Structure 1
Amino acid sequence: MFSFAISSCVYEDDCSYTYISYEPIFMSYDDFRNTPVELQEPRPLKEVGKIYFYNKYVFVNEVNKGIHIINNSNPAAPVQIGFLNILGNVDMAISGNILYADSYTDLLVIDLAVVTNPKVVQRINNTFDKQVFGNNGYADPNYGVIVDWLEKEVVVSNDCSGGDILYHDGDNFAPNQGAGNPTVGVAGSLARFAISQNHLYTLNGDNLKSYSITNPISPQEKNEVELGWGIETLFPYQNNLFIGSQRGMHIYNLDAPSQPQFVSTYEHITSCDPVVVSETTAYVTLRNGTNCRNGVNELHLIDISDLENPSLINTQPMTNPYGLGVDSKYTNKTLFVCDGDAGLKVLNVTNPLELEQIAEDNSINGYDVIAHNDILMMIGKDGLYQYNYQDPQNLELLSIIPTEK
């Protein structure tokens, strides 16, 4: 067994100090794979993650627990219809009535033809190489998957010197506290799953996996591409895949969808980096933080009219931006940015050289947004917020499903 702790020396006669130890609680592979994937009664939103929209439903991930399914026929009065229990779930994508979702190391194929009675039609084991303390889930080939952490306070009496120290057992680090063309759903900008041209694309660590889903219930793995390090998000647009990473935005061509081909990279300072695209402009938020090293907090607008030579058009200072979404339906193109504690920012980006902030809601802390048919769906620290943005300068708050405190 291994643990991790941050401790602070307390200078007493015996130089004793305490530290908090986190020990993993494992579940065997057999037990986790035998845990029913089923629709349970609605439950409060707590530690929310990714957001997805399909048909009239909003799907909200509960990190490593499953997916809240919400009937959004009336965005002013959304109705939670159930919670789809999926251990180790972080990402999702939908094509036709088929939901593709991760479950720790596995890929699940779930039939949503009757959304109140989802059925697992296939589990593809060991699709994702999630090792101990890996992104979005935890697994160890010797023990199984990590389903929780046990916190312990440990008192140590010893000779010590200096101030704060880092204590750990082993080589591991602290748990991260963080036929035809069927209709495809809409993902937020933090997605690590994407669907394009009857293919499912998933991030496996820093690698890109492609699956043919011509037969939707039987994905066929076609290729795996090494992308480099710090890979974070996927955004499909037309026949290309835009990949956000900590060092830049990668562009891959999907003319041969089973074999994504590298086109170019727009590089920037090391920083967290989701990306969305509209027409000939890519929008990228850069954020600093623990996992993003010493990056900056900015919005970048990138000219992608020549995909082989993406170039920076403009930048806008931000506080601590996360996800973003763009709507170009109107004459005035509108960009929505979740700017951490600074709230939701709304910008007119019709002219990339002259950005104009036209509205904000600084009372909320958002993670990601989906802008679709005049409705802005935003997931964040305080829950699921929905706005009517037909007049982007005057957002109309329609509803809130709050997180449980």
Structure 2
Amino acid sequence: MKTYFPSPFFRFMSLLLAGMMVLVLPSCHDEVTSTYTFKTVIPVYLEMSTIRAKDIVVAPPQELENPGKIYIYGDYLFVNEPQKGIHILDNSNPAAPINVNFIKIDGNVDLAINSGILYADSYVDLLAFDINDIRNVKLENRVQDVFKHMYHHHDTGVIITYKDTVMTADSNQMWHWGRPWVMMDRVNLSAQSASPGSQSYGQGGSMARFTLMSGHLYAVDEYSLRVFDVADAKLPKHLKNIDLGWGIETIFPFQEKLFIGSNTGMHIYDAKIPSDPRELAVYQHILACDPVVVNEKHAFVTLRKGVNCNNGVNELHVVDIQNPRNPTLLKAYSMLHPHGLSLTGDFLYVAEGKHGLKSFDVKDVMAIDKHQLEFLQSMKSVDIIAGPKSLIVIGPDGVCQFDYSTPSVLRPLSCIQVKNPVVV
């Protein structure tokens, strides 16, 4: 007897039925019909042979329509357009970033950069681009079918995705890599800027599903961790998949460890042997969406209610990780609707979704609430990168940069606005 899980099509139909409701109200004289229309998506069935046969086009600069992941590498800022591709901007001067070009990549949601090689997903495949000449980007390699189960229809094997989506400022949702039929509560990658030897890595935010460490690329989906050997940056080799359970959301590397956020807890993996990460512990919490950043002593974890964790809480957890086999909650702080976060020294920046952007002095982790520095309520925010030149904040309205040389007072530098922001 075979067991079938609900297919993406089944989930779509459920969504559609819930989204198109007709309420009939009887009256003394006439029958009154009220129709409620909700934003939804349409299933699209694809053949990967068709996708692979298409040329990868590096197009002229395009306006930002639906911001996804952010990533910085050298003087360049990369902004993903979910399911469509990646914008590349010259960010030599964060006060005046210059839009350079746009790599069209069907089914792209995540990215990471290693020694001038950009890794990007394209539905079930992993692509490797040479970006050493940023105006002459070249596809170097394609590793096929490494993200296969995330898109394949259970019965037919056909690729299923969903056409377009809408990101609303009210719900703070964007496309979620690994859940193409749902919209996501997050964005991007690693806080590690360099690897051993000759490799150099970029930097991204706390809501990553791709990250790089010790000559290896790690990618998480809802259930597993995929390990790639990228010692030869142009030739990524898929080594193995590691089962993680369910509800996996983010990954963050620190000092030969991987901190993996999920709906139910934070997994800590020892990656001293980079090709074979081993679980050390799981810090469990109630059902909630869960990005994480860490330093030598503490993990800072935001928990929030979201699409897939409606029963969650809106809190910031501070976890003692000095014994990584026994992570211990020190204190939980109430938040409004926290998303991504970034830690630099003793300063923590928290994206509060539609509510704004908060900053804290966290020298005393037991009194963070008493040391809030700023609350920029006009800056709708989803994720943050504390980069070498600026604090980069992404939200539903676009990507903004701040001078944070005085951590307690953010000074606006620039904003790349969304072409047609959704008015809610």
- Equivalent residue pairs, number: 376
TM-score normalized with structure 2 length:
0.83
What do residues 133-192 of structure 1 show as CA deviations (whole Å, max 9, x unaligned)? x9xxx99854434351699xxxxxxxxxxxxxxxxxxxxx99323493411111111110
The amino acid of 1:304's aligned partner reads I
Q: Is the 8 A contact 2:94 2:389 kept in 1?
A: no
Q: Which moved more, 1:72-81 or 1:314-323?
A: 314-323
Q: Report the counterpart of residue 408 of structure 2 in structure 1.
A: 393
- Structure 2 residue ranges without an equivalent (≥5): 1-8, 167-178, 185-195
Relative distance call for 1:247 and 1:109 in structure 2 (3 A) is: same
Deviation at 1:18, TM superposition (A): 6.4
The CA distance in 2 between the partners of 1:305 and 1:316, in whole Å, is 20
Relative distance call for 1:200 and 1:31 in structure 2 (3 A) is: same
Q: Verify: 1:10 aligned to 2:16, yes or no.
A: no
Q: Report the counterpart of residue 120 of structure 2 in structure 1.
A: 101
Q: Which moved more, 1:86-95 or 1:178-187?
A: 178-187
Q: Report the counterpart of residue 323 of structure 1 in structure 2.
A: 340
The CA distance in 2 between the partners of 1:142 and 1:17, in whole Å, is 40
Q: Verify: 1:82 aligned to 2:97, yes or no.
A: no
Q: Report the counterpart of residue 342 of structure 1 in structure 2.
A: 355
Q: Is the 8 A contact 1:181 1:197 kept in 2?
A: no
Q: Report the RMSD for the aligned CA atoms in angstroms.
A: 2.5
The CA distance in 1 between the partners of 2:227 and 2:255, in whole Å, is 17
User: 1:222-237 maps to which residues of 2 (within 5 A)?
Assistant: 222-237=239-254
TM-score normalized with structure 1 length:
0.87
The CA distance in 2 between the partners of 1:293 and 1:240, in whole Å, is 30
What do residues 83-139 of structure 1 show as CA deviations (whole Å, max 9, x unaligned)? 11111111111110011110011100111111111111111111103445x9xxx99
The CA distance in 1 between the partners of 2:99 and 2:386, in whole Å, is 20
Q: Is the 8 A contact 1:94 1:184 kept in 2?
A: yes
Q: Is the 8 A contact 1:25 1:149 kept in 2?
A: no
The amino acid of 1:352's aligned partner reads V
Q: Is the 8 A contact 1:359 1:392 kept in 2?
A: no
The CA distance in 2 between the partners of 1:176 and 1:322, in whole Å, is 17
Relative distance call for 1:248 and 1:265 in structure 2 (3 A) is: same
| Divergent runs of 4+, >3 A | 12-23, 138-145
Deviation at 1:339, TM superposition (A): 0.3
More helix, by proportion: 2
Q: Report the counterpart of residue 37 of structure 1 in structure 2.
A: 56
The amino acid of 2:363's aligned partner reads T
Q: Is the 8 A contact 1:129 1:205 kept in 2?
A: no
The CA distance in 2 between the partners of 1:386 and 1:282, in whole Å, is 25
Deviation at 1:62, TM superposition (A): 0.6
Relative distance call for 1:96 and 1:174 in structure 2 (3 A) is: closer
The amino acid of 2:183's aligned partner reads Q
The CA distance in 2 between the partners of 1:84 and 1:174, in whole Å, is 20
The CA distance in 2 between the partners of 1:140 and 1:194, in whole Å, is 32
Q: Verify: 1:366 aligned to 2:381, yes or no.
A: yes
Select the residue among 61, 67, 84 that pairs with 2:86.
Answer: 67
The amino acid of 1:144's aligned partner reads I
Q: Report the counterpart of residue 402 of structure 1 in structure 2.
A: 417
Q: Report the counterpart of residue 119 of structure 1 in structure 2.
A: 138
Deviation at 1:341, TM superposition (A): 1.7
Q: Is the 8 A contact 2:127 2:141 kept in 1?
A: yes
Q: Is the 8 A contact 2:41 2:162 kept in 1?
A: no
Q: Which moved more, 1:123-132 or 1:15-24?
A: 15-24
Relative distance call for 1:382 and 1:183 in structure 2 (3 A) is: same
Three-state SS of the structure 2 residue aligned to 1:309 is: coil
- Structure 1 residue ranges without an equivalent (≥5): 152-172
Relative distance call for 1:44 and 1:149 in structure 2 (3 A) is: closer
The CA distance in 1 between the partners of 2:313 and 2:49, in whole Å, is 44
Select the residue among 394, 415, 422 that pairs with 1:379.
Answer: 394
